[in-house]
Amino acid sequence: MSVKLIQDRLDTYNCRSNIEEQHALREITQEVVLAALGRTEFFKDALFQGGTCLRIFYGLNRFSEDLDFILKETDRDFPLQPHLRAVGDELKAYGYDVEIADRSRARMAVRKAFLKDDSLGRVLQLKYVDGSGPARKIRVQLEVDTNPPSGSGMEIKYLDFPFISSVTVQDKPSLFAGQLHALLCREYVKGRDWYDFLWYTSQGVGINYAFLSSALRQQGPWQQQDLQVDWEWCRIHLEDRINSVDWVTARDDVRRFVKASEYPSLDLWSRDLFLSQWGKIEGRPADPGRARPGRGD
């Protein structure tokens, strides 16, 4: 019956290609993992963030690979293993034969675990896999930052699959601030960062400058500097970044994470487009990023 629930969920995606079916299976697995974590004490300590958070809870169109979390407060001794065991038990109940590899090391700031399943594809009715070939592999990476920047806002969101559960997430201004940190500090071009930037600017999302300032002081070329980060500071440095991006490389990175109907929009990616989008938020008041009260606070 539990496997049927996964099959029914997969059918709702109406996948039209092999890659869409792979993304759908991963996303379904991500939701089961989040629901499992919601049944533990995990979200009393942690916030969900990143592209998968945007996809599942805020309506981002692109698919995403990883599950990224930050703790509400620094805790280098945060125990990840009990939560991973709960995730493994929940996945097993839905027909997975999952292997969970905890790649964390003692006192490591970012804890990492990898979830892998090679068996579920054998029992699901997949449209784009030859039944005589190898089973579809499902892989999800989970990361928890145990030494997070300060100043994040948060809110409670709810999942209704595979059962009703609550997830504590970063609010949109804090997510946007984290995205700007990645755009300004990542040492390579990641098109998914820029795709998400377009989403934030088109949605009229403000920026949690307190969280961005803390992140910049913690990691990147401005590490440990006493910064006064505001719109003008972001404009100067983001324009420099936009002017340096190879937009062909950027859109090629994101292409496999969106449906074919979005390809014409990717072809419009250019310096002028992104400068224009940044201009849309000029003068928008900064969001203070205050934590919103919720369960577990």
**107-143 confidence digits (pLDDT tens):** 689 999 999 998 887 788 888 875 555 567 899 999 9
| Tens digits of residue pLDDT in 202-254 | 999 999 999 999 999 999 999 999 988 999 999 999 999 999 999 999 999 99
CA distance to 88, 115, 141, 270, per residue, from 101 (Å): 11, 7, 10, 40
What region, left, alpha or beta, does residue 68 occupy, with left being phi > 0 and alpha being psi -120 to 50 degrees? beta
What is the per-residue pLDDT for 224?
93
Instruction: For residues 26-52, give the mean pLDDT.
Output: 97
Q: How far apart are CA 188 and CA 193, in angstroms?
A: 11
What is the per-residue pLDDT for 290?
43
Q: N- to C-terminal Cα distance for the chain?
A: 36
Residue bearing tokens 């609550």: 166
Residue 230 phi, psi dihedral angles, 5° rounding: -145, -170
- Detail the DSSP E strand segments found in the chain: 46-49, 67-71, 99-102, 110-117, 138-145, 154-159, 165-170
Instruction: For residues 146-169, give the mean pLDDT.
Output: 97
Residue 208 DSSP label: -
Question: Taking a C-beta distance cutoff of 8 angstroms, is the pair 260, 296 a contact?
Answer: no
What is the per-residue pLDDT for 281?
83
Average per-residue pLDDT for the chain = 91
| Tens digits of residue pLDDT in 194-203 | 999 999 999 9
Q: How far apart are CA 284 and CA 271, in angstroms?
A: 22
Which residues is 168 bridged to in the sheet? 156
| Six-digit token string for 201 | 């600017």
| The residue type at 89 | D
What is the per-residue pLDDT for 42?
97
Q: Which domains are delineated in the chain?
A: 1-170 (3.10.450.620), 172-297 (no CATH)
Q: How far apart are CA 146 and CA 22, in angstroms?
A: 30
Question: Is the pTM of the predicted complex or chain greater than 0.85?
Answer: yes
Element (H, E) at 151: none
Question: Taking a C-beta distance cutoff of 8 angstroms, is the pair 182, 54 a contact?
Answer: no
Q: How far apart are CA 88 and CA 99, in angstroms?
A: 8
